[in-house]
Amino acid sequence: MVAGIKARHGVLFGAMAVALLCTGPARAADPDKFKIGGVVSLSGTYGIFGEDMRKGVEIAIEQRGGKVLGKPIQVIWEDDETKPQPAVQKTTRLISEGVQMIFGAVSSASSIAIMNIAKQRKIPHLVTMSADDKITVPNGSRYTFRTSNTLGMEQRMALSFTKEQKLKRVYGVTADYQATRDSWEWYRREAEKAGVEIVGADFAPLGNRDYSSIVDKIARSNADGVALFMTGSDAVTMVKQAGQVDLGKTRKIFGPVIADETMAAGVGPASIGVYSGVRYHFTVDNPANRKFVEAFRKKYNELPSSAAGEAYDGMAWWLDTVEQTGSWDKEKWVAAFENSVRDNSVEGRKSMRACDHQAMQDGLWGVVEKGAPPAPAYTMKIVKVFPPNQVFDACQP
Amino acid sequence: MSTLIIGLSLGMLLFLLASGLTLIFGMLGVINFAHGALYMLGAYIAFDIGRHTGSFVAGLIGATVLVAAAGALIERLALRPLYNRPHFYQLILTFGVILVISELVKIVWGLGYQESTMPEALAGTVELFGSTIPVYRLFVIGFGALVSGGLFLLIEKSTFGMLVRAASSDGEMVRLLGLPVSSVRMAVFALGSGLAGLAGAIAAPLFPIELGMATNTIIDCFIVVILGGLGNIRGAVAASLLIGLVRALGYAYMPSWVDILTFALLIATLLTRPQGLFFRATRSA
């Protein structure tokens, strides 16, 4: 009992210590700088993505000489620990420190939380990673823009893959949170309409540590396709453990965002043959991408990941738009970005849709293959490019 | 039936991890928040040794020895001056150790996922009760049973174990008898840490190796320690297997309820038997 009481004290003090550690020094507003508040996951389930996004943004800033509107750009990075509550606290603090815009986050829950603050405080907000369709809806937030993929695009590609491969029976495993659940429900409805039988559907907690029981259920089912609606550590663990019983040899494993070079590195050989939507890829062949990949390799001595590419693309586009307005008026930036077209995006042409602030773009679908240097050991090969009209619905107000 | 085997393997893995934590708590009274970080460190070390030597066994031994050495160092440099202070000093200290280890891992291995392949001999699968079971899972069950038996003999039957138990119940008296209490404490902390390293090495081929390993597992570990009774090795074995089975059954029948089931078990135990499910059985530890 004494130990219990001591433990409780300990927890309290522990919490105080955490609170102390998380409180940085206040920074005074400086009108001589273009300040960006970057709220990304540097720890937690999606911690791996935040660091790559930071690298992408840094290249975007470097390529314009570190300046916009004649003033140096300063990015203040904060870690939301892949949780909405710290995202809210850190965004609020960044805004009080006078940032001109917010960049982030990784998890959709965090991005939606940030979106609401940005709307209230009338601060532009750029999303290049979170894919929840609710972030860009008609008559949504005036201040939030997404230049990256939506889960809607990715689930459409997954459905198209199901039909193309003529899969008959699909087993679905979904990370148990809102965005992935919505996405799975959509897929399930559409797949059933197309005559696909859903032979099983499991919802595992976000940050789940062991999928072997679920893998065993799939192995005992007669499914010919395994649809995974999850990403990050969840997808890596699931695909790795599926490989431990060779599930991929008899069934197609696919999902909206279950594989890229980062995730495949954690899975190893079992990732080969796994199909996934791809947000950005270093092999996309156009001058802008070649230039970006070269700059990235020179600075970091590695190829850019999806997270890095999308972050670079969004930030470069946004800063160019701000530059063109020649003004410090945030409303002018928002108005200009709403109707902006990016012909030289690293993923080809992107155009911002004024009705919902979503960038229209191609959808990339790929499969993991063995890579040859300088590409990573397990690398994505883009097998299909979907034009925007196949992966986006018309904007209905 | 296959669920049972999966449950046992989950439980045994959990035991390997929780045993070090419960040992350190039971014998030293230190709540080691950094246990999960030591487990992660073990996984990274085993991965790296395995990558360079191609030997799984070398990784297993290397991770255990190096993490035990790290534990001894932490005890000697950081914990020893704090034994006579209130508990929260130790909590804050071990919390700090997590940050140090995480940063070290980031510097050495980076932020990306790492992947450790299974040893050839254990890479296959067997057909059991209509399910395909990876041989490695069976190995984990056997290995866990071996370690639990060894640990039990060490603590309950050996001279070293007697000394440890004596030092934990009355350190001052043992010191007056001329026995090296400080060294015993350091050895216990090193042993507990070594077990965390060993668990990391065993877990490495099953899971992606990543920084999140530390935080993901430490909560389960604390649940095991609380259910089993603080510092109770036999309790830890039983609690680990119980949690493993609850989780495996949960994943098999209602995956979205797994965490809720685990925590419900914890809350029910705290309400009805706050000293742990297995308290009465082993008062001595």
pLDDT digits (tens, 9 = 90+) for A89-106: 999 999 999 899 999 889
- What radius of gyration, in Å, describes the C-alpha atoms of chain A? 21
Shared-domain flag, residues A32 and A142: yes
In a domain, A383, yes or no: yes
Rounded to the nearest 10°, the torsion over CA A82, A87, A88, A93 is 160
Residue B151 lies inside a defined structural domain of this protein: yes
List, for residues B11-22, the tens digit of each pLDDT value: 999 999 898 998
Distance (Å) from the alpha carbon of B10 to chain A's nearest alpha carbon = 8
Nearest-by-Cβ selection for A262 from B87, B113, B206: B113
Closest CA in chain B for residue A305: B112
Is residue A228 domain-shared with residue A368, that is, in the same domain? yes
Non-local (6+) Cβ contacts of A156 within 8 A are: A363, A386, A390, A391
pLDDT for the residue A28: 42
Residues A341 and A198 in one domain: no
Q: How far apart are CA A196 and CA A198, in angstroms?
A: 6
Please state, rounded to an integer, the average pLDDT across all residues of chain B. Answer: 87
| Domain presence at residue B148 | yes
Total number of domains constituting chain A: 2
What is the mean predicted confidence (pLDDT) over A44-64?
A: 89
Domain count, chain B: 1
Sign of torsion, CA B202 B203 B207 B212? negative
Same domain, A49 and A90: yes
**Spatial distance between the Cα atoms of A219 and A199, rounded to a whole number of angstroms:** 12
If asked whether residues A171 and A136 sit together in one domain, one would say: no
What are the angstrom distances between the C-alpha of B42 and each of B46, B59, B62? 6, 9, 9
* Contact flag B125-A202 (C-beta cutoff 8 Å): no
Q: What angle do CA A307, A241, A183 make, to 5 degrees?
A: 50
Separation of alpha carbons A379 and A49, rounded Å:
17
A17: closest CA of chain B, how far (Å): 7
Q: Which residue of A has its CA nearest to B254?
A: A202
Residue B282 pLDDT more than 50? no
CA–CA dist B186, B225 (Å, integer): 21
Statement to judge: residues A123 and A188 lie in one domain: no
Residue B140 has a pLDDT of: 93
**Hey, what are B138's tokens?**
């069976």
Residue B248 falls inside a structural domain: no
pLDDT per position as a tens digit, B254-281: 877 888 888 888 888 888 888 777 765 4
Give the E-state strand segments of chain A in sequence order. 34-40, 67-68, 71-79, 101-104, 125-127, 144-146, 169-175, 197-204, 225-229, 252-255, 275-278, 341-345, 348-353, 358-360, 363-370, 378-386
- Kindly state whether residues A253 and A387 are assigned to the same domain: yes
User: How large is the average pLDDT for residues A126-131?
Assistant: 93
Q: Tell me: pLDDT of B3 over 90.
A: no
* A220 to B117: CB separation less than 8 angstroms, yes or no: no
Asked, for residue A397, whether it belongs to a domain, the answer is no
Distance CA B79, CA A171 (A): 51
Are A342 and A350 spatial neighbours (Cβ–Cβ below 8 Å)? yes
Q: Find the CB nearest B212 among A45, A210, A219.
A: A45
Q: Is residue B29 part of a domain?
A: yes
Yes or no: say if A31 and A38 are a contact pair by the CB < 8 Å rule: no
Q: What is the pLDDT of residues B189-228, one digit of tens each?
A: 999 999 999 999 999 998 889 888 877 678 888 888 888 8
- More reliable by pLDDT, A332 or B257: A332
Q: What is the DSSP letter of A176?
A: S
- Per-residue pLDDT band at B126 (split at 50, 70, 90): confident
CATH value at residue A241? 3.40.50.2300
- DSSP three-state, residue A10: helix
Closest-approach residue (CA) in chain A for B92:
A14
Instruction: Write down the pLDDT at residue A205.
Output: 83
Amino acid at B273: R
Identify all chain B residues contacting A4, using CB atoms and an 8 Å cutoff. 274
Q: Is the pLDDT of residue B232 over 80?
A: no
The DSSP annotation for A188-246 comes to: HHHHHHTT-EEEEEEEEPTT----HHHHHHHHHS--SEEEEE--HHHHHHHHHHHHTTT
The pLDDT value recorded for residue A397 is 59
Closest listed residue to residue A198, CA positions, set A228, A171, A177: A171
From the list A210, A219, A220, which residue is nearest B10 (CB)?
A210
A72 and A144 belong to one structural domain: yes
A to B CB pairs, distance under 8 Å: 144
**Between residues B139 and B176, the one the model is more confident about:** B139
Question: Is the pLDDT score of A179 beyond 90?
Answer: no
B34 phi and psi angles, rounded to 5 deg: -80, 5
* CA pair distance A208, B95, nearest whole angstrom: 23
Same domain, A250 and A347: no
A313 and A221 belong to one structural domain:
no
pLDDT category, A31, cuts 50, 70, 90? low
CA distance B120 to B151: 28
Which residue of A233, A241, A244 is in closest CB contact with B212? A233
User: What is the pLDDT at residue A16?
Assistant: 44
Distance CA B56, CA A229 (A): 33
Q: Per the domain annotation, does B40 fall within a domain?
A: yes
In angstroms, the Cα distances linking A337 to A145, A199, A286, B12, B55 are 8, 45, 23, 56, 56
Residues belonging to chain B: 285
Beta carbons of B79 and B182 less than 8 angstroms apart: no
Whether the upstream peptide bond of residue B63 has omega within 30° of 0, thus cis, is: no
Q: What is the largest CA-CA distance in chain B?
A: 61
Contacts B208 to A, Cβ<8 Å: 233, 236-237, 240, 266-267
Task: Give exposure, B11-38, as e/b (b: 16+ Cβ within 10 Å).
Answer: bbbbbbbbbbbbbbbbbbbbbbbbbbbb
Residue A166 lies in a domain: yes
Reduced to 3 states, what is the DSSP secondary structure of residue A388? helix
Smallest CA–CA distance, residue A71 to chain B, in Å, is: 32
State the CB neighbour count (10 A cutoff) for residue A319. Answer: 24
Contact B167, B185 (CB under 8 A): yes
How far apart are the C-alpha atoms of A183 and A151, rounded to whole Å? 7
Query: Same domain, yes or no, for A295 and A198?
Result: no
Residue A134 in any domain: the answer is yes
CB A158 within 8 A of CB A131: no
How many other C-beta atoms can be found within 10 angstroms of the C-beta atom of residue B145?
14
Q: Which domain holds residue B18?
A: 12-210
| A37 φ/ψ angles, rounded to the nearest 5 degrees | -95, 115
To which H or E segment does residue B134 belong? strand B131-134
Cβ contact, residue pair B256, A205, below 8 Å: yes
Question: Which residues in B lie closer than 8 A to residue A6 (C-beta atoms)?
Answer: 86-87
Judge if A377 and A339 occupy the same domain.
no
Question: A10 in a domain, yes or no?
Answer: no
Residue A60's pLDDT band (cuts 50, 70, 90): very high
Pairing of strands A225-229, A197-204: unpaired
CA of B47, closest CA in chain A: separation in Å?
12
**H helices of chain B, where?**
2-28, 35-53, 56-74, 87-109, 135-157, 159-169, 171-176, 181-203, 213-228, 233-253, 258-272
| Mean pLDDT of chain A, nearest integer | 87
Cβ–Cβ gap A204/B132 under 8 Å? no
Residue B183 identity (one-letter amino acid) = S
Percentage of chain A modeled with pLDDT above 90: 64
- A225: pLDDT strictly greater than 90: yes
Listed as own residue / partner, the contacts of A256-259 with beta carbons closer than 8 Å and 24 or more positions apart are A256/A131, A256/A151, A256/A154, A256/A155, A256/A157, A256/A158, A256/A183, A256/A229, A256/A231, A257/A131, A257/A151, A257/A154, A257/A231, A258/A228, A258/A230, A258/A231, A259/A235, A259/A366, A259/A368, A259/A380
In this prediction, residue B276 carries a pLDDT of: 78
In a domain, A396, yes or no: no
Q: Is residue B236 part of a domain?
A: no
Residues B15, B142: Cα–Cα separation, whole Å: 12
Residue A276 has pLDDT above 50, yes or no: yes
**Out of B6, B33, B249, whose CB is closest to A212?**
B6
* Residue A5: pLDDT over 50: no
Structural domain boundaries, residue A67:
22-149+285-361
Q: How far is B107 from chain A (nearest CA, A)?
A: 13
CA-nearest residue to B9 within chain A is A212
Distance CA B232, CA B230 (A): 6
A307–chain B nearest CA distance, Å: 13
Query: A365-397 pLDDT, tens per residue?
Result: 999 999 888 888 999 999 999 999 898 888 765
Q: What's the CA gap between A11 and A270, in Å, rounded?
A: 41
Give the torsion through C-alpha atoms of A148, A152, A157, A159, to 10 deg: 170
Chain-chain contact of B209 with A211 (C-beta, under 8 angstroms): no
| CA A64 to each of CA A71, A126, A127, A307: distance values in angstroms, whole numbers, following the listed order | 11, 18, 20, 20
Residue A351 lies in a domain: yes
Asked, for residue B192, whether it belongs to a domain, the answer is yes
